[in-house]
Structure 1
Amino acid sequence: MTLSGFLSKNTVSVKLNIGSRDKLLAEISSLAADMAGLDTDGRDRIAAVLKEREELATTALGSGTAIPHCRMPGLNNFITGVVTTKKPIDYGAADGKKVDIFPFVIAPENKPKEHLKILSGMARILRNPDTRKAIRSINDSEELYNFLSDLFEDKQEKKMPHAGSSMKMLHVFVRDEELFNDILQVFASGETAGAMVLETHESTEYLSSMPVFAGFWNSELHTFNRIIVSVVQEKLLYQTLRNIEYVSGDFSSNSDVMVTVTDLHHVLGSLDQ
């Protein structure tokens, strides 16, 4: 699944003169309603559902970005787009920063899995500071559309040769909570089978409690340790690894993330919903 297939020139708008959350949601609702061919009542329904979702919890991601989104009863197809504002607006972000980049998703009510993949894919892309900088520098809607279409299009995945239906098991060891949250979004947005999370402890944590080893590692223990376990089709392996490295940084210089890949001879059953 590539995000570019959900994007339209008609739902991309840049440098809007908007100063509040409600006005932003009204603008998004208008773009979405026009795209779906809805009347003013439909537009108002979208605005109401978007506002209801924001009241539940802010969709701000931090670093000046947010992804307003909702599930809309009666909608058959996804409506996605991106809005940027001239000046950042207060959006209740956890990092306290105002927001000026707003990709949005209006989803059919009966497609939660696809909805999650689109959200996670957008969030992963916005983690990159160079991407955010580029988006903020663009002053033309068509230019932003072209930039995003190229960005959302998974070029590397298209180049990957198909390798049959063979499967690989990934273990991603993470010792940083922020990186863990970012990496987990990679699995939510990809075509992986049943990603699971294990909460673990370093062996040194147990050894340090033994009298003979007391005092060796107390100041060096990592208290956050997680392992993400997932099964991935071989044809998607490279892209999955690339996406993990995209959010975590160069593997060769990162001491808080390690990935192992194991061949699977047999895969029986499924965890797909």
Structure 2
Amino acid sequence: MSVCTKCGNPNVIITRKQSGQSLCADCFIKSVDKKVQQTIRREKLLNKGDKVMVALSGGKDSVVTLDILNSYRERHVIDLCAVTIDEGIKGYRNEGVDIAISHAKRLGIEHKVVSFKDCFGIDLDEIMKTDNHRGSCTYCGVFRRWIINRTSREFGADKIATGHNLDDESQAVLMNYLEGNINNLSSLGALTTSKSPKFTPKIKPLREIPEKEVGLYALAKGLDIHLAGCPYAQESFRMEVGNILKDLTKDHPTMMYSVIKGYDKLKPLVKENYPPEFHQGDCAICGEPSSNELCRVCTFLKELGHRVQL
């Protein structure tokens, strides 16, 4: 029978295939906390006095991000607030919104719930019923980023924290490479910034934590999380790439780490030769940064016969 590698506790909850390390609940929690703290320190994700807005969906990744960052808030290093986005997915989103509201109240932090319907006059379910739509993930990603960035300015936030984990980040690297989006590759990483003052810097504290460990951390700490998966996710290219990486990881447990570590070494060269496409001005309709007359949100809404609800 295996015992905890750190303390000898016989109640082991995980054996890490990549290292052979077995851990009990307490030691596992401490190991994840330490790994996230190392990422935050090494990548300089937080500055004392920062106001950090967490993109809080109610799922495991965002709830764990909020929980870990709250330890910095309790030590008076940063201030916290959160935004939850209601995309309008019937039978899926309501539970996540309720869980997010509950966590925000539990911690006593500022929190806003913002819906696609209120911002754009149409929700995701309605979009998917239209003819010739672009696919759920295309709209969802673009619309969510618009809301998150705009809300961060309303909060006066210095940083936006998202729950991207190791699986998410390695998928993003591989997806952009396979699609030939070299410009997009230069904007990945633990910290992303822009020359535009209207873009709030984004941080990914969980970037080096595997998805399974994020879920186990939430379970070990007794955190209430939204477990249901998005009903539209099955159709996404990200899901296909994620399945490829998971299959490779079965026999090569360090594969995802290798993907992002290799990317981090190449990033300076990619950024030098293929810099991110910075905005040229502001959207003529909504005023958000845009490289064209209309930003992608307003372009999509125009196709759908709607416009931003300013």
* Structure 2 length-normalised TM: 0.25
In proportion to residue count, which structure has more helix? 2
